């Protein structure tokens, strides 16, 4: 299981997604006041302005799906399907970052942090894992034909 390269890709993607709980997504400046945007919401001086519950739930679902996918190593087609679903969820998470940032306020100045790009990195890692799983599946099917 762990010796397969796709498992390492999936594990890295899951850890990157899980690390989003600990990082800031952006600094938002509205009317010369600094607001901090992270997974728990948008804060102004320890005061919660907008709840980040949808972000927290989506990040949790994506992280759990990555963990489940690692242990489905005997069901390669199911692994591919779950990873394709997580790619769609991560693109939705990326869209939610921008929705929360720009729909919350008018006339904002935003300084995005590196954490905003992590879902895109995870999409690439999941795509690489899907390719490796597909190669494994093709190898198994070619060996079944020989028998």
| Separation CA 125–CA 131 (nearest Å) | 10
Which pLDDT score, from 0 to 100, does residue 137 have? 84
Region 96-120 average pLDDT: 88
The domains of the chain, with CATH numbers, are: 5-142 (1.20.140)
In this prediction the pTM is 0.89
Which spans in the chain are helix H? 5-18, 53-70, 76-103, 118-146
Which pLDDT score, from 0 to 100, does residue 2 have? 63
Rounded alpha-carbon distances, angstroms, from residue 56 to 19, 140, 144: 12, 38, 44
Instruction: Report residue 115's pLDDT band, with 50, 70 and 90 as the boundaries.
Output: very high
């Amino acid at each position: 299981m762990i010796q397969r390269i796709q498992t390492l890709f999936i594990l890295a993607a899951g850890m990157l997604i899980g690390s989003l709980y600990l990082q800031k997504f952006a600094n938002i400046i509205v009317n010369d006041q600094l607001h901090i945007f992270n997974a728990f919401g948008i804060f102004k001086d320890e005061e919660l302005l907008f709840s980040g519950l949808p972000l927290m739930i989506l990040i949790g679902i994506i992280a759990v799906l990555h963990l489940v996918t690692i242990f489905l190593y005997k069901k390669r087609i199911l692994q591919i399907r779950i990873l394709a679903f997580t790619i769609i969820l991560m693109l939705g998470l990326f869209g939610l970052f921008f929705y929360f940032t720009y729909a919350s306020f008018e006339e904002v100045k935003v300084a995005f942090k590196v954490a905003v790009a992590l879902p895109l990195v995870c999409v690439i890692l999941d795509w690489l894992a899907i390719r490796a799983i597909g190669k494994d599946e093709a190898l198994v099917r070619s060996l079944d034909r020989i028998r």
